Structure 1
Amino acid sequence: MSTAAGLDRAKLLAARFKAAQDRPYLASALYALTVVPSGRVPTMGVDRHWRCYVAPAFVDATPVTELAGVWIHEVAHLLRDHHARAGRLPAADQRDHLRVNLAQDCEINDDLLADGLRLPEGRVEPRDFGLPAGGMFESYLPAIPASPPHGADCGSGAHGTPMPWELGEAAGPARIGAVEAEALRRQTAEAVRAHQRARGSVPAGWRRWAEQLLEPTVDWRRALSGAVREATAWAAGAVDYTYRRPSRRTPALGGRVVLPSLRRPLPRVAIVIDTSGSMGEDDLAAALAEVTGVLREVGVGAHRVAVLACDADVHAVTRVTSAEQVTLAGGGGTDMTVGISAALALPDRPNIVVVLTDGYTPWPAETPSCRLIAALIGAAAPEPPSWVETVRVDLGQ
């Protein structure tokens, strides 16, 4: 690693000043980066601790205007939490970290170029791979080919894989922790919003990022599994008395009186899937995915779950232990009251009914004698009656 003496620090910091002056809503994040000169980093890169590694030769060869664009590019990786998002990718994708980096660069660079920023030659953008602008790197990744052995590398602050030129967890200059980093993201998002209101000149990609950070959408998978978990806990707590197994206190009464014992019933779940014509293939795929989630939540090892395919009539009733066993039939009108009624008429009457629907359906006129959870698929799904426990499923998440 080279020393700071080999770096044209005045030029580098002049470029950061220009970036912060031209995009003042990014100033706090830009000035939070700690500069680390390095002869091993290809150009510039960041780690997850907000340290910015800079190659002196790259600074010498790059005009100030382009260096300003690279400053914004690198801080964008950290503001958009790319390393954490990369950590949620499948393991096979994570192993090709340079390919992930290319997809992330596509997400960033189309915003920067549309904003009039200059970037060095060799930068990538979505159109290089025949992809539309304005997407997230996760959506770009499947179209990115296997990366070359010496592709762009923005460091672990982008793709999440520690690089040999990074200082590591304990060594080196000041680091920014996860809590402070999140505070910086929120502060920057608020600055983006304020700048937009005052001047109306913030690029669409930064506006979208700020809106998602300041007004995050609810994780519907977690919300739905939480609703089912809470409902099953409620059902499991509904103890009752039974004479099939007398109380252990009965012998103490000399056999003259038989006392009942308490029993704790296993939750019984029915899932009504809307298979009407208004439900598209993506909707049905989401419904099937949630069947798997519900089965996992209620524990299919102890009991089974009834699944009813319903449009204006019930077409199939099955008891399943996995989503692959579900039969979807229908495609006509929509009336989930028929499916709910059929579920409650089953021999093993459920105490929890989950309805997976786009919401364009009548609902029962009164609260049924069970917990009713509606997973409304699609952003435009109408609101059901207030007594229905509701989770909105956003297929874009």
Structure 2
Amino acid sequence: MIPQTPGARPLDLDKLYAARLHAVRVRPYLATALFALHTVESRRVPTMAVDRYWRCYVSPAFVDRTPVEELAGVWVHEVSHLLRDHHGRSDRVARERGLTGPGERLRMNIAADCEINDDVFGDGLVRPEGAVGPGTLGLPEGELMEDYLRQFGLGPRTESLVWLDCGSGADGLEREWDLGPDGAHGLSEQERDAVRFRVAQGITGRPGSAPRGWKRWAEEAFHPPQPWRELLGAAVRSAASGAGAGEDYTYGRPSRRSAGVPGAVLPSLRRRPPRVCVVIDTSASVSDAELGSALLEVAAICRAVGGRRDLVTVVPCDAAARVAHPLCRAEGIPLIGGGGTNLRTGFAKALRTGPRPDVIVVLTDGQTRWPGTRPPCRTVVGLFPRQGAARSWVESDPDYVPDSPPEWARVVVIGSSPTP
């Protein structure tokens, strides 16, 4: 995949499309996406690159010198950037972490490649020459782009990767060769979503044929995490401005009061990320599918606090609260229950965990009695939707109608936007 000086030969479409057909044969669940890409010949791209509108820019010289089997791997690699929304995720990371400039976008491209390349090759798909994987940087496999970004910077290990350019579809930064939103053969947002949905259907329909990373992606495509990042953002700001939030002193950023004490450097208070306790309703009225959705939300909450698993605990609760589990892997948490519902015990258990949480997130169908007083921390309630009172509120009493969540909780119906 290392570029050379472009030649003057035209693009060999027969070879390029033969490679795509090989990719479809060995990765049939990606067929819809691979055939949705529109090819654009370009002598300004190093190898192959994509934009967010599903155009694939191809260097004729690269196609000429690369074997068909390796070209198939590049096809799969490039379409993976688009399916996994690396351009949108890169834009969000850039805004949230204040990352600017082409150097940071190169890091995002490298991190996105690590997310894809750790398990995409093999089983009939040849790894292209120069493909970047986590092992290239001495990083663990199986993580996401956002995780990898925190673990490496540009330096000696990345000097050989300055040529890398998978296009704006990989890192969100528009290139001079991009045709843009008004160019020919671009897919609309609805068409792009339809392609992703078809691919996710293919993966979940034949789960044994896809690598772990694609299975994870397909699950999130069907059950996208709700906007906990925005909800927790407000909770973080509230917790950070409250008493006791600046607990730790640091000399990394001296106090402004140092100016009044000549010859001395005073430490400043360091803000810490909030501790979050997630209470999951495991009563009989919550379905297995909803419990699975709850675990996906736990993973999203973990990402919202910077990937700090040590700051997140999970409390399964039906009529009684269970053990408060520290978060190692969301899928490893035993969601024991199946009885009635009393989330008051879940709140009590959450507040007894040490250290006490700054935010409590409750995932429930709402069929519970709520605490009579406001907890001493920010509360977010995620409600599983129910269609019609006659079918929704029957537990042991057919006339039972649950109380609405209290006014002091921020409420969002899972599958819709947060309430104002």
Query: What TM-score does the superposition give when structure 1 sets the normalisation length?
Result: 0.58
The match for 2:191 is 180
Deviations 1:159-195 (A, max 9, x none): 1111122223323x31102221111111111111112
The match for 2:181 is 169
Q: Which has the larger radius of gyration?
A: 1
The match for 1:303 is none
Q: 2:204 is aligned with what amino acid?
A: R
The match for 2:138 is 130
Q: Is 1:7 the equivalent of 2:6?
A: no
Query: C-alpha separation between the residues in 1 aligned to 2:142 and 2:211?
Result: 11
Q: 2:99 is aligned with what amino acid?
A: D
Equivalent residue in structure 1 for 2:118, among 110, 133, 141 = 110
| Structure 1 gap segments, 5+ residues each | 228-269, 274-283, 291-333, 341-353, 378-385, 393-397
Partner SS state of residue 88, structure 1: helix
Equivalent residues in 2 for 1:57-72 (5 A)? 57-72=61-76
Q: 2:195 is aligned with what amino acid?
A: L
Equivalent residue in structure 1 for 2:78, among 74, 80, 86 = 74
The match for 2:48 is 44
Q: 2:60 is aligned with what amino acid?
A: P
Query: C-alpha separation between the residues in 2 aligned to 1:105 and 1:63?
Result: 21
On the 8 A contact 1:45/1:154 being kept in 2, the answer is: yes
Q: 1:52 is aligned with what amino acid?
A: C
On the 8 A contact 2:44/2:177 being kept in 1, the answer is: yes
From the superposition, tell whether residues 93 and 113 of structure 1 become closer, same or farther in structure 2 (CA, over 3 Å): farther
| Structure 2 gap segments, 5+ residues each | 1-5, 236-241, 246-271, 279-344, 352-356, 363-367, 383-401, 412-420
On the 8 A contact 1:155/1:162 being kept in 2, the answer is: yes
The match for 1:98 is 106
Query: C-alpha separation between the residues in 2 aligned to 1:211 and 1:335?
Result: 28
The match for 1:287 is 275
The match for 1:327 is none
The match for 1:26 is 30
Equivalent residues in 2 for 1:262-273 (5 A)? none
Deviations 1:92-128 (A, max 9, x none): 5342211211111111111213555212221110011
Query: C-alpha separation between the residues in 2 aligned to 1:155 and 1:289?
Result: 39
On the 8 A contact 2:73/2:121 being kept in 1, the answer is: no
| Further displaced range: 25-34 or 174-183 | 174-183
Matched-pair identity in %: 43
Partner SS state of residue 72, structure 1: helix
Shift in Å, 1:369: 6.0
The match for 2:201 is 190
Question: Number of residues paired by the alignment?
Answer: 268
Equivalent residue in structure 2 for 1:356, among 349, 355, 359 = 359
On the 8 A contact 1:272/1:355 being kept in 2, the answer is: no
The match for 1:88 is 92
Query: C-alpha separation between the residues in 1 aligned to 2:198 and 2:27?
Result: 14
Equivalent residues in 2 for 1:243-392 (5 A)? 285-287=273-275, 356-357=359-360, 367-368=371-372, 374-375=379-380
From the superposition, tell whether residues 221 and 123 of structure 1 become closer, same or farther in structure 2 (CA, over 3 Å): closer
From the superposition, tell whether residues 336 and 112 of structure 1 become closer, same or farther in structure 2 (CA, over 3 Å): closer
Query: What TM-score does the superposition give when structure 2 sets the normalisation length?
Result: 0.55
